[in-house]
Amino acid sequence: MKDVAVLIGSGSIGQAIIRRVGADKHVVLADLRQEAADAAAKILENAGFKTSTIVVDISSRESILKLIEHAQKFGKIKNLVNAAGVSPSQAPVAAILKVDLYGTSVLLEEFGKVIAEGGSGVIISSQSGHRLGALTEDENYKLATSPTEELLELPFIKAITDTLKAYQYSKRCNGLRVMYEATAWGKRGATINAISPGIIITPLANDELHGPRKDGYLKMIEASPAKRAGTPDEVGDLAEFLMSSRGRFINGADFLIDGGTTASYWFGDLQYLKKTH
């Protein structure tokens, strides 16, 4: 029996993180598509990792519980990395809210019941959560603390009709739920944090940078303080620190890693984006 590291969403960012924290552990690769999990498993197996794969739909509590049951066959769950989700251009409002808002909240809740002493988790959120205007104190509290099965019934969530707003609210909720669940994780001697990346070069992002909307993306990147996009390895380095012994005093936090894009969106050269967002 080994310690277990669970990765949900087997794309470039998730793989970059799990390569840094999964050594000498059994790595469970969970994805909505079996072929994606298998492809990641082959890459990691060829790099010396021990893996298993399972199909998971994080919009389903039953599917999440089956994932936990699978992972516990190999040992104590020491790490959780959630890099799964859908974007505003990939899915309708209902699906975005069910996966990114509800599903992530259930993950935090259920893994918080089984995470091992000394364990840690990271949720990959998005800079989009930081582009949503200020919510009321009551809205923040309800997103953070409402029972998971009631989240999608909140009136201000049910009123969302735009996919971008659905995504932004979901990612804001991710950070708030991480803050809320940090207490339960802390009582088990574990930490949970969120990371909110900006534009990171992955196969999907690369397609966008060469597609019909490339001019808007390139303009945004050039006008950002960093003047470039990020890489999965940079996100992986941040996650590695948060999940290591050096990051034990960090719990319930949300870290922007976007080259200063959000700062510029609110107060700098990218303020023009507020007109379209």
Looking at 167, 169, 180, 265, which residue is catalytic?
167
Q: Sign of the CA dihedral 261, 265, 271, 274?
A: positive
- Is 219 catalytic? The answer is no
Long-range Cβ pairs for the range 214-221 (8 Å, 24+): 220/261, 220/270, 220/273
DSSP H helical segments within the chain, as ranges?
12-21, 34-45, 61-72, 93-96, 104-111, 137-145, 155-158, 163-187, 203-209, 214-223, 232-243, 261-267
User: Catalytic site residue 171?
Assistant: yes
- Alpha-carbon distance of 277 to 220, in angstroms, equals 13
92/85 Cα distance (integer angstroms)? 13
| Residue position matching structure tokens 């001019």 | 215
Sign of the Cα torsion 101, 266, 261, 274 reads: positive
How many other C-beta atoms lie within 10 A of the C-beta of residue 81? Answer: 30
Q: Within its chain, how far is the Cα of 132 from the centroid? A: 17
Q: What are phi and psi of 123, to 5 degrees?
A: -110, 125
Instruction: Single out the residue of 232, 250, 233 nearest to residue 242, CA to CA.
Output: 250
Q: Which of 78, 171, 180, 265 is catalytic?
A: 171
- Sign of the Cα torsion 260, 122, 23, 202 reads negative
Catalytic residues: 167, 171
